Amino acid sequence: MSEPRVFLLPDLGEGLTEAELVSWHVSVGDTIAVDQPIAEVETAKSAVEVPSPYAGIVAELHGKPGETLDVGKPLISVTPISVGAAADDAAPAPSPDQPEVEPAETELAEPKPESTEAETYREEEKAGSGNVLIGYGTPGGHGQARRTRARKTAVALAEPEAPSSPTEDELALLRTRVPGKLGAVISPLVRRMAKEHGVDLGALHGSGESGLIMRRDVEAAMRTAAPTAEPEAEPAEAAPGPVVEPVETRSVGDQDRDARTGLSIASRTPVRGVRKAVAANMTRSRSEIPEATVWVDVDATGLLELRQRMKANGAEIPGLLSFIARFVTAGLKKFPELNTRIETAEDGSQEIVGFDGVNLGIAAQTDRGLVVPSVRGAEKMSARELDAEIRRLTDVARQGKATPAELGGGTFTLNNYGVFGVDGSAAIINHPEVGILGVGRIIDKPWVVNGELAVRKVTELTLTFDHRVCDGGTAAGFLRFVADAIENPQSLLADI
């Protein structure tokens, strides 16, 4: 048998140097195919499934769930299966009760019709495959990808008249479809569902071909099982993509006592994944950026009345945040100092780098922590276009499906913390950007209009900026520009 081939954890994009191993989809001794998902890892950007570039038998798993692995370090060792070994394994003729295997696709012939169960399994794979690494692997999660299969070996192509013998993929399929065993589960989605809901796969007999455990089998077991403990919150199964495991909180006993306070320590939660990345970025921002903050109360009544008139006319109404985003991009054109970045050379010299365009970051709170997907080329978009892209980005970010490219590359950030019911916040700049604008809740407040007291819809805008790139006059000018646009929105919304 050949020497094992070692697959190193690949570059996950955007300069990331490490990833946390969330779970393995394979075990030592399993037979895997090219592009088969072998592990789920979580980076500072998103959770992705790592596909194998090799086919063969898993010889070693280099890491345990919960460990942080460095890029370029061994992830998995795979022993290739030789053609002769595959033929020896396939020597006994399959009995009538053995499962029929799927023929492998080749470049020379069209694939034969597949069984209903195989097609059902493929649909489940589509629903369960999430973000895979850019550049290789099987795409999925969008209902457009189809499962690829390895080509037949050169021996099989050279001797078409010989009786059809199982290929490596077919042998792998035979080995995994063992009724009543964990190996009878091929789909990572089904494995995860069973794990999260406490379903014992070893006790299930699958309804699929030759006992293959399908998603419906796990769902049936979930419905019939009597609850033995307080139910956990169900994950969002309707959303395709990788299921992100909750942050592990380790309970400790009373004997673990804090020396400073004298109190018993109730739990210890590792700082890792997105939380670790946020902590590192915020620490760097605070230590490197001399920030300052300005704020202003804004009468948003005119903007709300404009949206009501649009609604009365039957027009499609963008969200309030998309209008403010439109005002922000216009303000950054007028005050480009806030759409820059500070670069420091090795000799300590610094440059202010300006950009020809705006990538507007939108701060979004997710189950994995705070992430900032960016709307690229936001200065070219109308309020309606911004609304559609903001909704798409926040949706994929909350599902854990945002790509590293979508979660990076921002030049300025807009943070709507008003959705949490607060009025203001001295936000921390998203390094290496130089500014962040926060929007508070809109509430009724007494306001003087034309010398008379009135009740108006008022919000608070807060701008935190890097004092190295501009002074207070520029920051105040930008903030006042956005505030004036909110109070008199018609002047900037001719293109919506």
Condensed to tens digits (0 to 9), the pLDDT of residues 395-449 reads: 998 888 888 888 888 999 999 999 999 999 889 999 999 999 999 999 999 999 9
420-429 contact pairs (CB < 8 A, 24+): 423/460, 424/295, 424/460, 424/462, 425/462, 426/293, 426/462, 426/464, 427/462, 427/464, 428/282, 428/285, 428/286, 428/291, 428/464, 429/285, 429/289, 429/291, 429/464, 429/465, 429/466
pLDDT of residue 252: 52
Q: Between β-strands 267-268 and 291-299, what pairing exists: parallel, antiparallel or unpaired?
A: unpaired
Q: How far apart are the first and last CA of the chain?
A: 66
Burial 87-107 (b: 16+ CB within 10 A, else e): eebbeeeeeeeebebbbbbee
pLDDT of residue 96: 45
The DSSP result for 64-83, as a single string, is: -TT-EEETTSEEEEEEPPPH
346-379 pLDDT, tens digit per residue, is 898 999 999 999 999 999 988 878 889 999 999 9
Lookup result for tokens 């936001």? 378
pLDDT of residue 24: 93
pLDDT of residue 172: 42
Residue 431 falls in the annotated catalytic set: no
CATH dotted code for 5-176 = 2.40.50.100
Closest-CA residue to 478 (of 326, 332, 285): 332
Backbone phi and psi for residue 477, each to the nearest 5 degrees, phi listed first: -65, -40
Give the whole-angstrom CA distance, residue 147 versus residue 130.
13
Greatest extent of the chain over all pairs of C-alpha atoms, in Å: 96
35-42 contact pairs (CB < 8 A, 24+): 35/136, 35/137, 35/138, 35/148, 37/129, 37/132, 37/137, 37/138, 37/188, 38/75, 38/76, 39/75, 39/76, 40/188, 40/242, 41/9, 41/12, 41/69, 42/244, 42/273, 42/274, 42/368
Q: 373 Cβ partners below 8 Å, 6+ apart?
A: 361, 362, 364, 393, 394, 396, 397, 402, 406, 407
Give the whole-angstrom CA distance, residue 361 versus residue 408.
8
Q: Crossing angle, helix 301-312 and helix 320-334, to 10 degrees?
A: 120
Give the whole-angstrom CA distance, residue 476 versus residue 294.
7
Residues of the chain with pLDDT under 70: 1, 12-16, 44-46, 82-189, 192, 209-211, 225-255, 493-496
Q: Quote the radius of gyration of the chain (alpha carbons, Å).
A: 28
Question: 92: cis peptide before it, omega within 30°?
Answer: no
- Contact between 75 and 30 under an 8 Å Cβ cutoff? The reply is no
Q: Which residue among 62, 205, 431, 467 is the active-site one?
A: 467
304-349 pLDDT, tens digit per residue, is 999 998 888 877 889 999 999 999 999 999 999 999 999 999 898 9
pLDDT of residue 280: 85
Class of domain 275-492: alpha beta
Lookup result for tokens 């550049």? 135
Give the whole-angstrom CA distance, residue 443 versus residue 168.
65
Q: Locate the domains of the chain by residue range.
A: 5-176, 275-492
- Contact between 45 and 408 under an 8 Å Cβ cutoff? The reply is yes
- Contact between 19 and 60 under an 8 Å Cβ cutoff? The reply is no
Eight-state DSSP code of residue 20: E
